[in-house]
A = this chain, B = another copy of it.
Amino acid sequence: MQSQPYSQRPLVDQELKRVYLFAGLNIQQLERVKQSMRHLLLAEGESLFEQGQRAERFFLVREGHIKLLRLSLEGSEKVFEVIAPTQTFAEAIMFMPNSVYPVSAQAIEPSSLLAFENKIFVEILKESSDTCFRLMFHMSRRIRHWINEVDNLTLQNATYRLINYILYHIPSNHQDSYEFNLPIPKQVIASRLSIKPETFSRILNSLCQEGLLTVTGRIIHIHQVEKLRLYGQSALLPNEHYEIVCQDGLLPKK
């Protein structure tokens, strides 16, 4: 874990201010955050922290992708989340005294991060009710996220989960064809979706055969987005229709 400036791109205050958690800070507070801030550069596969390790910092991803995972003793891993640029992580446990990271964090590709000291930020939290509310707001969304995750794992099948993952990458207004690059290796996505790589491959293949999309390496070309959305709903079979769970846990409008 090196700690030196990384990207040519200079760190502008704006970058920090765009972070939801920091948006309410005044100049002095922002300055304190910056004081304790460290630049990190991770190589591909490099570990940031391990599950069970004392949690003293939280992080902002600037470039690259970080996976949050747990390992079984044989070495097989389950990816719980993949953190993309502009997102923060590990901030939900900052104020827990003697807390430990509940998962391990590892770079999927060369990545650039900023690390913030929990201790400093907790001091700011104590004096800023507004920032407390921002953090609580954020944590509340995280909880809903995990509830939806359990919902997906228990009520939805692998095909549905994969389709949902794909749809998530498509702007919601798009209807016709759409092409995008998978940001991370297929195996990582598979693990994130709790699917084995072989099954992942087979599902993608069967979606191709249905004529819904074309796969070229990491490039996914969806022929008709609207069709895929409908297919996602029928993938809920064999049990007829399940309730569609939107990202925010709301029911879709009838």
Contacts and interface: CB of A to CB of B under 8 A. Distances in A.
A92 B143 CA distance: 8
A136 B95 contact: yes
A74 B250 contact: no
A14 interface: no
Interface string A179-197: 0000000000000001000
Contacts of A132: 125, 129, 132-133, 136
Contacts of A133: 95, 125-126, 132
Contacts of A95: 133, 136-137, 140
Interface in A113-131: 125-127, 129
Interface in A33-84: 51-52, 70-74, 76, 78, 80
B150 A80 contact: yes
B137 A96 contact: yes
A129 to B, nearest CB: 5
Contact of A139 (B143, B150, B194): B143
A226 interface: no
Residue among A95, A126, A139, A240 with most chain B CB within 10 A: A139
A149 interface: yes
Residue among A102, A126, A135, A149 with most chain B CB within 10 A: A102
B139 A139 contact: yes
A83 B148 CA distance: 19
Interface residues of A, number: 51
A44 to B, nearest CB: 24
Nearest to A236: B72
Interface of A: 51-52, 70-74, 76, 78, 80, 92-93, 95-96, 99-100, 102-103, 125-127, 129, 132-133, 135-137, 139-140, 142-144, 146-151, 153-155, 194, 239-243, 245, 249-251
Q: 7 shortest A-B CB distances, which residue pairs?
A: A146-B146, A102-B249, A132-B132, A139-B139, A52-B251, A154-B194, A72-B242
18 contacts: A51-B249, A51-B251, A52-B250, A70-B151, A71-B243, A78-B154, A92-B139, A92-B140, A95-B133, A95-B136, A102-B144, A102-B148, A103-B147, A126-B129, A135-B136, A136-B136, A143-B143, A143-B146
